[in-house]
A and B are shown apart, each in its own frame.
Chain A
């Protein structure tokens, strides 16, 4: 039995509506409890800001495309080397670091839970193997269904229950956590050398539209009772004028779930562009934010762009091809059989570039114009917009108009006429930042009942103590102190153990992987469905019995059983 007591913590815990109360936190055997014995180890927080462990609801840290990003960018590997030290392994890489690099840097920033943004089901084993070597964070994986042949055939037949059954079987087989749609239909069209222009454009051969894919998958997701909603990367990423397509996609979504959103739209910054081409490219964050403000069933994340070098990687193959035609540098393209595809391009976002400057502004505008912080979460779509180590700077930008103005003075001079950012006065407070970096994520991912994102007795003891006293620092002026504080915790506590102290990781860790197993009736068990089995064995290059990921690939196995309505 191990016991820990954190004294004099200035706690912000939005899921319990606690805003900056000084209290003690008692921890026993990895859980938060009411009180502990006098023998407990004591940490005195001295009134420092104490939050539940951070949760990243959309990041690319593990899996085949991340790994391909690593080996196509040896220059990135040279950029961030740290030697072996204490319990820490040597790391390397800046925008696509090694798994330990990701884990240590996230832990130093107080993050204890990560959602891998896109896992191709066929390549799930690789993702799970990398999860095991991301020891200081609990992990879960969005599973890609955007170009799944069986799903699209069922959608064409109008059989929502069959869609749900296929998704349920696949999630269970590959140990996935939630449903991800990346450019729905577009990746399949890319296998024919095409793309879809918007949600009403049919996919070649299957003759289903992205709108049908989104709508049916959202309904199927609720039939399965999954903890997270459908996680959508809209069509037309990065194209000028794509905001109409984004609004069209968001408009498809009914309100089906009282406990959480019905759709999570990710990295919306990349989908909020106006104009008819790069010459009149401008921000359309206002209509998007207004739309989201009126619809509680939608949660978005920022996908903030920060200036500097990074790597873009996505399952959206055609989009990466367009980027390649712009930059003419190295490019990788992958096709994942009957499921999806991917593309990777290293990239530099520059202040001198008007398009990049507008992109930088749009992300901030989305966060500032969305009224409820529960509906716009903080991400960079790591590493697509920027590596996650830039989060502290984004937090400071959101909290300080002064900092935004100072940064705005350094971007391309024409940016002012393209974006509303200079006119936005709003400065977020500590509570809102806590929502946007952990509590909002826990609710959106459906993790609060599993003890994530809050510090209620019974919750997992994931705590981050930041070296800052919020009563002494005015974030709108002292933004530099905010950046420093969020860059490195005083203590990061994971499952009741101090795993990181002032940036130094102290233990080797042992992460847990969350995955879902929807309970469906025998009638809808795809493992026994003759048509599904026949098509699987005909079209896949693997046998169906070799396809599922065995449980031994998971480190600590947290299976979530759901009651499906089929």
Chain B
């Protein structure tokens, strides 16, 4: 089953839309779903023109395609998703793929904050940039992503994979400040540069194929290793927090 949701153009409205109902399994029982815009509950046909092709019995067979110019207004798309596919031809708002456990989300534009927060499985592919807190835990929460994969082809903002406790995050561009902060487990790979990676990490592995700026002094240098054709410098840490994590960097620079 393929569900195509084309956002109807709205003049001058920047109010976010809480669209946690846009999950493949919800479309198994029809398109009678609602979303919230501000304090008003609206049927999805008021926001989108909806077309459905084919039929499906299980969420894995459902594909949702979201089109339109202001898809960046949609928040919480794919929350608690447990199978199927969502493809967004445009930008997406905050909290896309919250808590998802299975399935695939593909974003052809940029993603706003908290992409794949606390996700447990499945895959998210973002062809543009992601904002802050990608694949991280939420405020006060103790665990970020616990499984699955997030792959970003553009840049990532600050606090990338904060509190990550499993799974893999791959960023092909640069990352911002505090990448992999409070990391517990899992793997974080940054192909570009980043600032202060692995702050207070307890476990897991963080790879920086570019330069680690403002490198923290609380990491212990072990030596160099070969990793997938690259020579990386191996650190363990964060020594301030029992030092069981591994940080691999191509190059690093301490603060003066």
How far apart are the CA atoms of A74 and B137 in the complex, in Å? 12
How far apart are the CA atoms of A77 and B142 in the complex, in Å? 14
Residues on B with C-beta less than 8 A from A78 are 138
Asked whether, in the complex, the Cβ of B142 is within 8 Å of the Cβ of A73, the reply is no
A-B CB contact pairs (8 Å), 16 listed: A72-B140, A73-B140, A74-B138, A74-B139, A74-B140, A74-B141, A75-B138, A75-B139, A75-B140, A75-B141, A75-B142, A76-B140, A77-B140, A78-B138, A328-B241, A329-B142
Interface flags, A305-341, vs B, CB<8A=1, else 0: 0000000000000000000000011000000000000
Interface residues of A in 75-90 (CB under 8 A from B): 75-78
Chain B residues in the interface with A (C-beta under 8 A): 138-142, 241
How far apart are the CA atoms of A460 and B192 in the complex, in Å? 71
- How many whole Å from B15's CB to the nearest CB in chain A? 20
Query: Which 7 residue pairs across A and B have the least CB separation, nearest first?
Result: A74-B140, A75-B140, A74-B139, A75-B141, A73-B140, A75-B139, A329-B142
* Total number of A residues with any Cβ neighbor in B under 8 Å: 9
Residues on B with C-beta less than 8 A from A75 are 138-142
- How many whole Å from B208's CB to the nearest CB in chain A? 26
- How many whole Å from A408's CB to the nearest CB in chain B? 29
Residues on A with C-beta less than 8 A from B140 are 72-77
How far apart are the CA atoms of A78 and B139 in the complex, in Å? 10
Q: Which residue of B lies closest to A71 (CB)?
A: B140
Q: Which residue of B lies closest to A75 (CB)?
A: B140
- How many whole Å from B43's CB to the nearest CB in chain A? 21
How far apart are the CA atoms of A329 and B202 in the complex, in Å? 12
How far apart are the CA atoms of A328 and B142 in the complex, in Å? 12
Sample of 6 further A-B pairs with CB below 8 A, known A75-B138, A75-B139, A328-B241 = A74-B138, A74-B139, A74-B141, A75-B140, A78-B138, A329-B142
Residues on A with C-beta less than 8 A from B142 are 75, 329
- How many whole Å from B133's CB to the nearest CB in chain A? 14
- How many whole Å from B110's CB to the nearest CB in chain A? 26
Residues on A with C-beta less than 8 A from B138 are 74-75, 78
Residues on A with C-beta less than 8 A from B139 are 74-75
How far apart are the CA atoms of A232 and B142 in the complex, in Å? 34
- How many whole Å from B151's CB to the nearest CB in chain A? 28
Residues on B with C-beta less than 8 A from A74 are 138-141
How far apart are the CA atoms of A328 and B238 in the complex, in Å? 14
Chain A interface main SS type: helix
Q: Which residue of B lies closest to A328 (CB)?
A: B241
Residues on B with C-beta less than 8 A from A73 are 140
Residues on A with C-beta less than 8 A from B141 are 74-75
How far apart are the CA atoms of A77 and B241 in the complex, in Å? 27
- How many whole Å from B253's CB to the nearest CB in chain A? 30
How far apart are the CA atoms of A496 and B240 in the complex, in Å? 59
Q: Which residue of B lies closest to A348 (CB)?
A: B142
- How many whole Å from B238's CB to the nearest CB in chain A? 12
Residues on A with C-beta less than 8 A from B241 are 328
How far apart are the CA atoms of A73 and B139 in the complex, in Å? 8
How far apart are the CA atoms of A75 and B118 in the complex, in Å? 13
Residues on B with C-beta less than 8 A from A329 are 142
Residues on B with C-beta less than 8 A from A72 are 140
How far apart are the CA atoms of A72 and B139 in the complex, in Å? 9
How far apart are the CA atoms of A74 and B138 in the complex, in Å? 9
How far apart are the CA atoms of A328 and B140 in the complex, in Å? 14
Which residue, of B140, B141, B142, B241, has the highest number of chain A Cβ atoms within 10 A?
B140
- How many whole Å from B184's CB to the nearest CB in chain A? 12
How far apart are the CA atoms of A72 and B141 in the complex, in Å? 11
How far apart are the CA atoms of A281 and B138 in the complex, in Å? 36
Interface flags, A57-72, vs B, CB<8A=1, else 0: 0000000000000001
Residues on B with C-beta less than 8 A from A328 are 241
How far apart are the CA atoms of A30 and B71 in the complex, in Å? 58
How far apart are the CA atoms of A77 and B140 in the complex, in Å? 10
How far apart are the CA atoms of A73 and B141 in the complex, in Å? 8
Q: Which residue of A lies closest to B241 (CB)?
A: A328
- How many whole Å from B39's CB to the nearest CB in chain A? 11
How far apart are the CA atoms of A85 and B126 in the complex, in Å? 41
How far apart are the CA atoms of A361 and B241 in the complex, in Å? 34
How far apart are the CA atoms of A76 and B138 in the complex, in Å? 12
How far apart are the CA atoms of A73 and B138 in the complex, in Å? 11
Interface residues of A in 272-310 (CB under 8 A from B): none
- How many whole Å from B3's CB to the nearest CB in chain A? 30
- How many whole Å from B241's CB to the nearest CB in chain A? 8
How far apart are the CA atoms of A169 and B142 in the complex, in Å? 45
How far apart are the CA atoms of A75 and B139 in the complex, in Å? 7
- How many whole Å from B210's CB to the nearest CB in chain A? 31
- How many whole Å from A331's CB to the nearest CB in chain B? 13
How far apart are the CA atoms of A360 and B220 in the complex, in Å? 42
How far apart are the CA atoms of A77 and B141 in the complex, in Å? 11
How far apart are the CA atoms of A328 and B138 in the complex, in Å? 19
How far apart are the CA atoms of A76 and B140 in the complex, in Å? 8
- How many whole Å from B36's CB to the nearest CB in chain A? 13
Residues on B with C-beta less than 8 A from A76 are 140
How far apart are the CA atoms of A247 and B141 in the complex, in Å? 40
How far apart are the CA atoms of A519 and B141 in the complex, in Å? 50
Q: Which residue of A lies closest to B137 (CB)?
A: A75
- How many whole Å from A303's CB to the nearest CB in chain B? 26
- How many whole Å from B252's CB to the nearest CB in chain A? 27
- How many whole Å from A61's CB to the nearest CB in chain B? 20
- How many whole Å from A90's CB to the nearest CB in chain B? 13
- How many whole Å from B197's CB to the nearest CB in chain A? 21
- How many whole Å from A285's CB to the nearest CB in chain B? 33
- How many whole Å from A83's CB to the nearest CB in chain B? 11
Q: Which residue of A lies closest to B138 (CB)?
A: A75
- How many whole Å from A326's CB to the nearest CB in chain B? 14
Q: Which residue of B lies closest to A76 (CB)?
A: B140
Interface residues of A in 327-364 (CB under 8 A from B): 328-329
- How many whole Å from B95's CB to the nearest CB in chain A? 13
- How many whole Å from A64's CB to the nearest CB in chain B? 19
Q: Which residue of A lies closest to B242 (CB)?
A: A328
How far apart are the CA atoms of A328 and B241 in the complex, in Å? 9
- How many whole Å from A330's CB to the nearest CB in chain B? 8
- How many whole Å from A71's CB to the nearest CB in chain B? 9
How far apart are the CA atoms of A74 and B141 in the complex, in Å? 8
Interface flags, A484-526, vs B, CB<8A=1, else 0: 0000000000000000000000000000000000000000000
- How many whole Å from B240's CB to the nearest CB in chain A? 11
- How many whole Å from A348's CB to the nearest CB in chain B? 10
- How many whole Å from B22's CB to the nearest CB in chain A? 21
How far apart are the CA atoms of A74 and B139 in the complex, in Å? 6
How far apart are the CA atoms of A468 and B138 in the complex, in Å? 42
Q: Which residue of B lies closest to A72 (CB)?
A: B140
Q: Which residue of A lies closest to B139 (CB)?
A: A74
Q: Which residue of B lies closest to A329 (CB)?
A: B142
- How many whole Å from A332's CB to the nearest CB in chain B? 13
How far apart are the CA atoms of A328 and B141 in the complex, in Å? 15
Q: Which residue of B lies closest to A77 (CB)?
A: B140
How far apart are the CA atoms of A482 and B220 in the complex, in Å? 58
How far apart are the CA atoms of A72 and B142 in the complex, in Å? 12
Residues on B with C-beta less than 8 A from A77 are 140
- How many whole Å from A318's CB to the nearest CB in chain B? 22
How far apart are the CA atoms of A223 and B138 in the complex, in Å? 53
How far apart are the CA atoms of A329 and B142 in the complex, in Å? 9
